[in-house]
Amino acid sequence: MDQPPRISSSGGRVGVLLPGLGAVATTVVAGVEAVRRGLAQPFGSLTQMNTIRLGKRTEARAPLIKDLIDLAGLDQLVFGAWDPIPDDAYDSAVNAGVLDRTQHLDPIRDFLKSVKPMPAVFDTAYVKRLDGPNRKREGSRMELAEAVREDIRRFKSEHGCSRAVMIWCGSTEVFQRSGSAHATPEAFEQAMRDDDPAIAPSMIYAWAAIMEGVPYANGAPNLSADVPALEALAQDRGVPVAGKDFKTGQTLMKTILAPGLKARMLGVSGWFSTNILGNRDGEVLDDPESFKTKEESKLGVLEYILQPRMYPELYGRLYHKVRINYYPPRGDDKEGWDNLDIFGWLGYPMQIKVDFLCRDSILAAPIVLDLALFLDLAARSGMGGIQEWLSFYFKSPHTPEGLYPEHDLFIQHKKLKNTLRWLAGEDQITHLGREYYE
């Protein structure tokens, strides 16, 4: 195995730049501040709570991840955002209705009021159900991208940040396939100069981040940095990128259950998933073109985990359907129902019903925090390009062309921890365990 890289110190302030200051973004910003002030605990975050086993089981070495690896501390994080809707983080969080106003928002009101969105690169052709006045008026896409680069530099200097990371928490853009404008960095830059509509707003942020040496992750399912031009640019410039689409409610459940059924060689003939949600994200996804982007992201999961071509008798006829229904009364408190038709020994049928009454942004917020700290770690370790070890956090893991993604949550978790062990110069854990019986 190759030698672990030298990791530069985590000291100094880190800008966490969020295109999109909606439900997820405000839940992470408010949550980090609440934890910093000792008002709440960072449940759901591996960087804050998870331990990591090192060496043999008999050695009883299991430090916290943050004690093994030099990660930035929560006190070092400074939040910035862009949004076409001009609400500051307090007003946006109140509107999102995720966190309790009296218990978690009012005590940190001044802090949340101070996080105001910068004018966004926004285009209603890409997000059809929203609009807002807080947007950049520069001419071509290249000029918009240069304005975002300028925002990044100004933010870092105004807040004394030695480095920054960017995580897309903006709305899901309409479905799009990678094309000639996205093929190489040169074609991409020419397309921006030509103001080619094939360059989506999220791609403009991603390009600006990579050019500024700022790691970029995409929490939504739209392409964004997942195109050859931006992959190559990130690789060449040694900037980490990761994506796509935070793995939260229903897909989290799917990637927990499906590997278990497959491990036991139980067949699956049908998996019907339906959701009701009433937040702004639900409203955007009510547009068929944004829904298609999300649907593709959600559908890929079972195909990769169950490998129907390898097990045609078990999974070859699987009928997989995903629906998302906008239902305003529920707000951010989504309900995800799954009906699984499975079969066992001699083909006898069985059913599993899952009814997950979850809170979307409560599941997403710790993912944003962990991604910010791990992307910063990757950058300090000189790990540029696609960060597949972070696929644990995504519904649709970003992998290079020709390499299929790992969707199984437990494989992803092992991969993440083995990457941390490698970075720390510790042995990999294979779970072979012969040494205990020798």
Ligand X SMILES: NC(=O)c1ccc[n+]([C@@H]2O[C@H](COP(=O)([O-])OP(=O)(O)OC[C@H]3O[C@@H](n4cnc5c(N)ncnc54)[C@H](O)[C@@H]3O)[C@@H](O)[C@H]2O)c1
Choices 32-40, 125-133, 312-320, 427-435; region in contact with ligand X by CB under 6 A:
125-133
Question: Between residues 173 and 406, which has the closer beta carbon with respect to ligand X?
Answer: 173
Question: Is residue 120 within the footprint of ligand X (CB under 6 A)?
Answer: yes
Cα R_g (the chain), whole angstroms: 22
- 171 closest CA partner among 122, 98, 240: 122
CA dihedral 174, 180, 183, 186 (to 10 degrees): -110
**Of the candidate residues 19, 31, 278, 331, the single one contacting ligand X (CB under 6 A):** 19
User: Minimum distance between the CB of residue 339 and ligand X, rounded to whole angstroms?
Assistant: 22
CB of 315 to ligand X, least distance (A): 25
When CB distances to ligand X are compared, the closest residue is 22
85 touches ligand X (CB under 6 A)? yes
Identified binder of ligand X from the candidate list 248, 273, 275, 387, rule CB under 6 A: 248
Please say which residue, 249 or 384, places its beta carbon nearer to ligand X. 249
121 binds ligand X (CB under 6 A): yes
Choice from 15, 20, 215, 385 touching ligand X (CB under 6 A)? 20
| Rounded (10°) CA dihedral 371, 375, 378, 383 | 110
Part of the chain binding ligand X (CB under 6 A), chosen from 13-21, 253-261, 368-376, 405-413: 13-21
Rule CB under 6 A: is residue 83 a binding residue for ligand X?
yes
Task: Choose between 175 and 311: whose C-beta lies nearer to ligand X.
Answer: 175
Please report whether residue 394 would count as binding ligand X according to CB under 6 A.
no
Q: Is 363 in the site for ligand X (CB under 6 A)?
A: yes
Q: 175-201 burial string, b = 16+ CB within 10 Å, else e?
A: bbeeeebbeebebbbebbeeebebbbb
Cα 372 from Cα 190, distance rounded (Å): 30
Give min distance, CB of 363 to ligand X, in A.
Answer: 5
The piece of 103-111, 114-122, 176-184, 349-357 that touches ligand X (CB under 6 A) is: 114-122
Q: Looking at 361, 381, 412, 419, which residue binds ligand X (CB under 6 A)?
A: 361
- Taking the least distance from each CB to ligand X, the nearer of 363 and 423 is 363
Q: Does 280 bind ligand X (CB under 6 A)?
A: yes
Q: Which is nearer to ligand X, 22 or 42 (CB)?
A: 22
Smallest gap from residue 87 Cβ to ligand X (A) = 8
Residue 77 makes contact with ligand X by CB under 6 A: no
User: Considering beta carbons, is residue 211 or 362 the nearer one to ligand X?
Assistant: 362
**Residue found by looking up tokens 């480095």 in the block:** 163
Which part of the chain contacts ligand X (CB under 6 A), choosing from 145-153, 155-163, 165-173, 373-381?
165-173
Residue whose entry in the numeric block shows the structure tokens 């229903």: 250
Residue 433 token pair: 């365990």
Under the criterion CB under 6 A, does residue 315 sit at the interface with ligand X?
Answer: no
Decide if residue 98 touches ligand X (CB under 6 A). no
Binding mask 136-155 for ligand X (x = CB under 6 A): --------------------
> C-beta of 97: minimal distance to ligand X in Å?
10
CB atoms within 10 A of CB 100: 9
Q: Is 82 in the site for ligand X (CB under 6 A)?
A: yes
Q: Which stretch binds ligand X (CB under 6 A): 21-29, 190-198, 376-384, 385-393?
A: 21-29
> Using CB under 6 A as the criterion, which residues of the chain lie in contact with ligand X when the complex forms?
19-25, 82-85, 96, 120-122, 127, 130, 132, 169-172, 201, 219-220, 245-246, 248, 279-281, 284, 360-361, 363-364
